[in-house]
Structure 1
Protein backbone atom coordinates (compact mmCIF):
# COMPACT_ATOMS: atom_id res chain seq x y z
CA UNK A 1 0.00 0.00 0.00
CA UNK A 2 2.79 2.42 0.90
CA UNK A 3 4.63 1.59 -2.31
CA UNK A 4 1.43 2.25 -4.29
CA UNK A 5 1.15 5.70 -2.70
CA UNK A 6 4.80 6.44 -3.41
CA UNK A 7 4.31 5.29 -7.01
CA UNK A 8 1.26 7.48 -7.54
CA UNK A 9 2.94 10.52 -5.95
CA UNK A 10 6.15 10.09 -7.96
CA UNK A 11 4.15 9.64 -11.14
CA UNK A 12 2.13 12.80 -10.54
CA UNK A 13 5.14 14.88 -9.52
CA UNK A 14 7.15 13.87 -12.55
CA UNK A 15 4.59 15.55 -14.79
CA UNK A 16 3.45 18.26 -12.34
CA UNK A 17 6.29 19.34 -10.03
CA UNK A 18 4.43 22.52 -8.99
CA UNK A 19 1.42 20.55 -7.72
CA UNK A 20 0.40 21.62 -4.22
CA UNK A 21 0.10 19.14 -1.38
CA UNK A 22 -3.67 19.67 -1.42
CA UNK A 23 -3.89 18.94 -5.16
CA UNK A 24 -1.63 15.95 -4.74
CA UNK A 25 -3.74 14.59 -1.87
CA UNK A 26 -6.93 14.95 -3.93
CA UNK A 27 -5.43 13.18 -6.97
CA UNK A 28 -4.00 10.30 -4.91
CA UNK A 29 -7.09 10.03 -2.72
CA UNK A 30 -5.38 10.65 0.62
CA UNK A 31 -5.52 13.36 3.27
CA UNK A 32 -3.31 16.43 3.05
CA UNK A 33 -1.48 15.20 6.16
CA UNK A 34 -0.80 11.86 4.48
CA UNK A 35 0.45 13.66 1.36
CA UNK A 36 2.80 15.72 3.54
CA UNK A 37 4.05 12.53 5.22
CA UNK A 38 4.64 10.79 1.85
CA UNK A 39 6.47 13.81 0.45
CA UNK A 40 8.72 14.01 3.51
CA UNK A 41 9.49 10.29 3.21
CA UNK A 42 10.39 10.70 -0.47
CA UNK A 43 12.61 13.70 0.33
CA UNK A 44 14.36 11.76 3.14
CA UNK A 45 15.02 8.86 0.75
CA UNK A 46 16.55 11.30 -1.74
CA UNK A 47 13.90 10.61 -4.38
CA UNK A 48 12.44 14.12 -4.42
CA UNK A 49 13.97 17.52 -3.80
CA UNK A 50 12.04 20.61 -2.88
CA UNK A 51 12.57 23.90 -4.63
CA UNK A 52 10.81 27.23 -4.50
CA UNK A 53 9.16 28.93 -7.42
CA UNK A 54 7.23 32.13 -7.65
CA UNK A 55 3.54 31.37 -8.12
CA UNK A 56 2.42 34.99 -8.26
CA UNK A 57 3.68 38.46 -7.50
CA UNK A 58 3.36 38.06 -3.73
CA UNK A 59 3.50 34.34 -3.15
CA UNK A 60 6.10 31.60 -3.31
CA UNK A 61 5.22 27.92 -3.64
CA UNK A 62 7.18 24.71 -3.63
CA UNK A 63 8.14 22.55 -6.56
CA UNK A 64 8.70 18.85 -5.91
CA UNK A 65 11.32 17.65 -8.37
CA UNK A 66 12.28 14.02 -8.87
CA UNK A 67 16.00 13.41 -8.44
CA UNK A 68 17.84 10.99 -10.74
CA UNK A 69 17.51 8.45 -7.92
CA UNK A 70 13.78 9.24 -7.77
CA UNK A 71 13.37 8.68 -11.50
CA UNK A 72 15.17 5.33 -11.25
CA UNK A 73 13.04 4.31 -8.25
CA UNK A 74 9.85 5.35 -10.06
CA UNK A 75 10.84 3.11 -12.95
CA UNK A 76 11.45 0.16 -10.61
CA UNK A 77 8.20 0.76 -8.74
CA UNK A 78 6.36 1.04 -12.06
CA UNK A 79 7.61 -2.40 -13.10
CA UNK A 80 6.52 -3.95 -9.78
CA UNK A 81 3.18 -2.13 -9.90
CA UNK A 82 2.52 -3.27 -13.45
CA UNK A 83 3.45 -6.88 -12.65
CA UNK A 84 1.17 -6.91 -9.61
CA UNK A 85 -1.75 -5.32 -11.49
CA UNK A 86 -1.39 -7.75 -14.40
CA UNK A 87 -1.49 -10.68 -11.95
CA UNK A 88 -4.61 -9.21 -10.34
CA UNK A 89 -6.15 -8.73 -13.78
CA UNK A 90 -5.47 -12.32 -14.82
CA UNK A 91 -6.93 -13.67 -11.55
CA UNK A 92 -10.03 -11.51 -11.98
CA UNK A 93 -10.39 -12.54 -15.61
CA UNK A 94 -10.25 -16.23 -14.61
CA UNK A 95 -12.84 -15.68 -11.89
CA UNK A 96 -15.17 -13.88 -14.32
CA UNK A 97 -14.84 -16.71 -16.81
CA UNK A 98 -15.65 -19.26 -14.09
CA UNK A 99 -18.73 -17.24 -13.08
CA UNK A 100 -19.86 -17.04 -16.71
CA UNK A 101 -19.58 -20.79 -17.04
CA UNK A 102 -21.53 -21.32 -13.80
CA UNK A 103 -24.25 -18.96 -15.02
CA UNK A 104 -24.44 -20.71 -18.39
CA UNK A 105 -24.93 -24.11 -16.72
CA UNK A 106 -28.05 -22.89 -14.96
CA UNK A 107 -29.22 -22.58 -11.37
CA UNK A 108 -29.36 -26.30 -10.47
CA UNK A 109 -26.23 -27.57 -12.21
CA UNK A 110 -23.91 -27.54 -9.21
CA UNK A 111 -26.39 -28.01 -6.37
CA UNK A 112 -28.95 -30.69 -5.71
CA UNK A 113 -32.44 -29.46 -4.92
CA UNK A 114 -34.07 -30.96 -1.83
Structure 2
Protein backbone atom coordinates (compact mmCIF):
# COMPACT_ATOMS: atom_id res chain seq x y z
CA UNK A 1 0.00 0.00 0.00
CA UNK A 2 1.51 3.33 -1.03
CA UNK A 3 1.36 6.56 0.96
CA UNK A 4 -1.36 8.05 -1.25
CA UNK A 5 -3.75 5.13 -0.67
CA UNK A 6 -2.86 4.93 3.03
CA UNK A 7 -3.54 8.66 3.40
CA UNK A 8 -6.86 8.47 1.56
CA UNK A 9 -8.07 5.52 3.65
CA UNK A 10 -7.12 7.16 6.94
CA UNK A 11 -8.70 10.47 5.91
CA UNK A 12 -11.96 8.79 4.92
CA UNK A 13 -12.07 6.72 8.11
CA UNK A 14 -11.39 9.76 10.26
CA UNK A 15 -14.26 11.63 8.60
CA UNK A 16 -16.64 8.64 8.46
CA UNK A 17 -15.73 5.85 10.90
CA UNK A 18 -18.93 3.90 10.22
CA UNK A 19 -18.23 3.48 6.50
CA UNK A 20 -18.30 -0.13 5.35
CA UNK A 21 -15.64 -1.80 3.25
CA UNK A 22 -17.78 -1.87 0.10
CA UNK A 23 -18.42 1.88 0.31
CA UNK A 24 -14.73 2.49 0.91
CA UNK A 25 -13.91 0.28 -2.07
CA UNK A 26 -16.28 2.31 -4.28
CA UNK A 27 -14.86 5.66 -3.15
CA UNK A 28 -11.25 4.56 -3.62
CA UNK A 29 -12.03 2.69 -6.86
CA UNK A 30 -10.12 -0.38 -5.69
CA UNK A 31 -11.27 -3.93 -5.11
CA UNK A 32 -13.03 -5.00 -1.94
CA UNK A 33 -10.19 -7.46 -1.31
CA UNK A 34 -7.62 -4.66 -1.48
CA UNK A 35 -9.62 -2.57 0.99
CA UNK A 36 -9.81 -5.55 3.35
CA UNK A 37 -6.06 -6.14 3.02
CA UNK A 38 -5.29 -2.45 3.66
CA UNK A 39 -7.56 -2.23 6.69
CA UNK A 40 -5.99 -5.35 8.19
CA UNK A 41 -2.52 -3.89 7.62
CA UNK A 42 -3.50 -0.61 9.31
CA UNK A 43 -4.99 -2.53 12.23
CA UNK A 44 -1.82 -4.62 12.57
CA UNK A 45 0.29 -1.44 12.65
CA UNK A 46 -1.95 -0.15 15.42
CA UNK A 47 -3.06 2.89 13.43
CA UNK A 48 -6.76 2.02 13.39
CA UNK A 49 -9.10 -0.07 15.51
CA UNK A 50 -12.25 -1.81 14.34
CA UNK A 51 -15.19 -2.11 16.71
CA UNK A 52 -18.61 -3.66 16.21
CA UNK A 53 -21.54 -1.28 16.12
CA UNK A 54 -23.50 -1.48 19.35
CA UNK A 55 -26.84 -0.89 17.63
CA UNK A 56 -26.05 -2.68 14.40
CA UNK A 57 -28.46 -5.25 12.99
CA UNK A 58 -25.49 -6.96 11.36
CA UNK A 59 -22.74 -8.47 13.47
CA UNK A 60 -20.37 -7.81 10.57
CA UNK A 61 -20.74 -4.02 10.77
CA UNK A 62 -17.69 -2.23 12.13
CA UNK A 63 -16.69 1.30 12.97
CA UNK A 64 -13.07 2.18 12.24
CA UNK A 65 -11.28 4.60 14.53
CA UNK A 66 -7.82 6.11 14.20
CA UNK A 67 -5.71 5.43 17.26
CA UNK A 68 -3.53 8.18 18.74
CA UNK A 69 -0.62 6.61 16.86
CA UNK A 70 -2.78 6.54 13.72
CA UNK A 71 -3.59 10.23 14.07
CA UNK A 72 0.11 10.99 14.39
CA UNK A 73 0.95 8.81 11.38
CA UNK A 74 -1.82 10.44 9.32
CA UNK A 75 -0.28 13.85 10.03
CA UNK A 76 3.12 12.58 8.82
CA UNK A 77 1.50 11.02 5.75
CA UNK A 78 -0.27 14.29 4.99
CA UNK A 79 3.05 16.18 5.01
CA UNK A 80 4.73 13.57 2.77
CA UNK A 81 1.76 13.46 0.41
CA UNK A 82 1.64 17.27 0.19
CA UNK A 83 5.35 17.39 -0.71
CA UNK A 84 4.82 14.83 -3.48
CA UNK A 85 1.82 16.72 -4.87
CA UNK A 86 3.66 20.06 -4.76
CA UNK A 87 6.57 18.54 -6.67
CA UNK A 88 4.16 17.10 -9.25
CA UNK A 89 2.47 20.50 -9.53
CA UNK A 90 5.78 22.30 -10.11
CA UNK A 91 6.77 19.75 -12.76
CA UNK A 92 3.39 20.14 -14.44
CA UNK A 93 3.71 23.94 -14.44
CA UNK A 94 7.13 23.69 -16.09
CA UNK A 95 5.81 21.24 -18.69
CA UNK A 96 2.89 23.57 -19.47
CA UNK A 97 5.26 26.53 -19.90
CA UNK A 98 7.49 24.45 -22.20
CA UNK A 99 4.46 23.43 -24.28
CA UNK A 100 3.28 27.04 -24.52
CA UNK A 101 6.73 28.06 -25.77
CA UNK A 102 6.73 25.20 -28.27
CA UNK A 103 3.31 26.17 -29.59
CA UNK A 104 4.33 29.82 -29.75
CA UNK A 105 7.41 28.95 -31.79
CA UNK A 106 5.36 26.76 -34.15
CA UNK A 107 2.80 29.53 -34.61
CA UNK A 108 5.56 32.03 -35.39
CA UNK A 109 7.08 29.66 -37.95
CA UNK A 110 3.67 29.14 -39.57
CA UNK A 111 3.05 32.89 -40.01
CA UNK A 112 6.36 33.52 -41.76
CA UNK A 113 5.25 31.67 -44.90
Counterparts of 1:1-114 in structure 2, within 5 Å, are 2-54=2-54, 56=56, 58-60=57-59, 61-106=61-106
For structure 2, the residue ranges without an aligned partner over 5 or more in a row are none
C-alpha RMSD over aligned residues: 1.6
What per-residue deviation string (whole Å, max 9, x for no partner) do you get for residues 52-82 of structure 1? 11454x3241001000000000000000000
CA distance in 2, matches of 1:85, 1:23: 26
Highest RCO, 1 vs 2 (Cα 8 Å, sep ≥ 6): 2
Other structure's SS at 1:30 match: coil
Q: Which runs of 5+ in 1 are unaligned?
A: 110-114
**Aligned equivalents of 2:5 and 2:45: distance in 1?**
15
The Cα shift of 1:26 comes to: 1.0
SS at match of 2:51: strand
